[in-house]
Homo-oligomer: A and B are copies of this chain.
């Protein structure tokens, strides 16, 4: 690690927003100030950096935001940031504003941007901010816990009416490439079927056929309502509902939860970890850390090289999938 003295830290949120990004921003700002540094807030992610939408942050700027969803810094996706020329402009803007160290809160794409800026002389630390939990180097990502609880609470409600009407309900949750939200809220609501991208081979008719057979088996055993959690990466929930109804004769309804999973007051875990990670990022920059991602693993916060982080992969746990399947299959009914 090079030991450049950090005097001013910039912070931005990038990509899809996630609950508790505000808690992380607050922690970056307040820890930096407590350590004697200045802090600049960069609005609208990399796009705002290019437009020099840069504001001074004080302790007061982050008052009463720890409990709020969204990000006060706003966020945006920025396709042009993949262009090396554009990255150079961004690094120059950082220098112009005296930003020696940059904390980037976002997902994989945001990490790549941070990696490029690091190579151009701006010390960067990235925090995993995504509801999808699809970042391999960490057991926790900022916003995942809130998103899962939001989905779970919505499914709990749908389950009430599904039981009353003795229906089949399909709930589509977020997760284009990762099934973590689906697995967690499926397990937590006792879903009979949990459809996740990691186990989907692209053969939708085949997948639907298996669901239909499973429903018919349950119905034959006396089960009167059915709950299917389907990840966005498989999708087609409305069509699936129609085809299930046609094949089984059981009234079937689909709900796509959508963007509500990105918002809401963050849970305790999201606020706690986001706060710790924000503080850790600042302390890491001060210690000379650069081109690092902060993760939570083995019960501890740690950091590793961005490139290394990006090259890692992780998989849904097979035992968890098996248990979810066992627990969801039951003939009981609360009447």
Segment of A68-76, A193-201, A209-217 in the binding face: A68-76
Query: What CA separation (Å) do A165 and B156 show in the bound complex?
Result: 26
Beyond A60-B331, A75-B164, A152-B268, whether A190 also contacts B66 by CB under 8 A is yes
Q: Are A330 and B60 within 8 A (Cβ)?
A: yes
Contact with B along A222-266 (1 / 0, CB 8 A): 000000000000000000000000000000011111111111110
* Contact residues of A between 1 and 29, Cβ < 8 Å to B: 13, 17, 19, 21, 26-27
Partner of A71, one of B27, B164, B279: B164
Check A161 for interface membership: any CB of B closer than 8 A.
Answer: yes
Residues of B within 8 A of A157 (CB): 69, 150, 259-264
Residues of B within 8 A of A163 (CB): 64, 70, 74
Which partner residue on chain B sits nearest A314 by CB separation? B299
Number of interface residues of A (CB under 8 A): 90
Partner of A156, one of B161, B259, B264, B279: B264
Q: Are B327 and A70 within 8 A (Cβ)?
A: no
Check A58 for interface membership: any CB of B closer than 8 A.
Answer: yes
SS class of chain A's interface: helix, strand, loop or mixed?
Answer: helix
Partner of A263, one of B27, B161, B297: B161
Residues of B within 8 A of A21 (CB): 164
Q: Are A27 and B323 within 8 A (Cβ)?
A: yes
Check A267 for interface membership: any CB of B closer than 8 A.
Answer: yes
Query: What CA separation (Å) do A19 and B158 show in the bound complex?
Result: 11
Which partner residue on chain B sits nearest A152 by CB separation? B268
Query: What CA separation (Å) do A220 and B80 show in the bound complex?
Result: 26
6 tightest A-B CB contacts, nearest first? A63-B332, A160-B263, A60-B332, A69-B160, A157-B263, A70-B160
Pairs across A and B, CB under 8 Å, 20 listed: A59-B331, A60-B330, A63-B330, A64-B333, A67-B189, A70-B164, A154-B154, A156-B264, A156-B265, A158-B263, A159-B263, A160-B264, A162-B263, A187-B272, A187-B276, A188-B275, A253-B258, A255-B257, A265-B265, A275-B327
Q: A34-B329, A43-B335, A66-B189 are in contact. List 5 more A-B contacts (CB 8 A).
A: A63-B332, A160-B264, A188-B268, A255-B259, A267-B267
Spell out A's residues near B (CB within 8 Å).
Answer: 13, 17, 19, 21, 26-27, 30-31, 34, 43-44, 58-64, 66-72, 74-76, 139, 145, 148-150, 152, 154, 156-166, 169, 184-185, 187-190, 253-265, 267-269, 271-272, 275-276, 279, 297-299, 319-320, 323-324, 326-327, 329-335
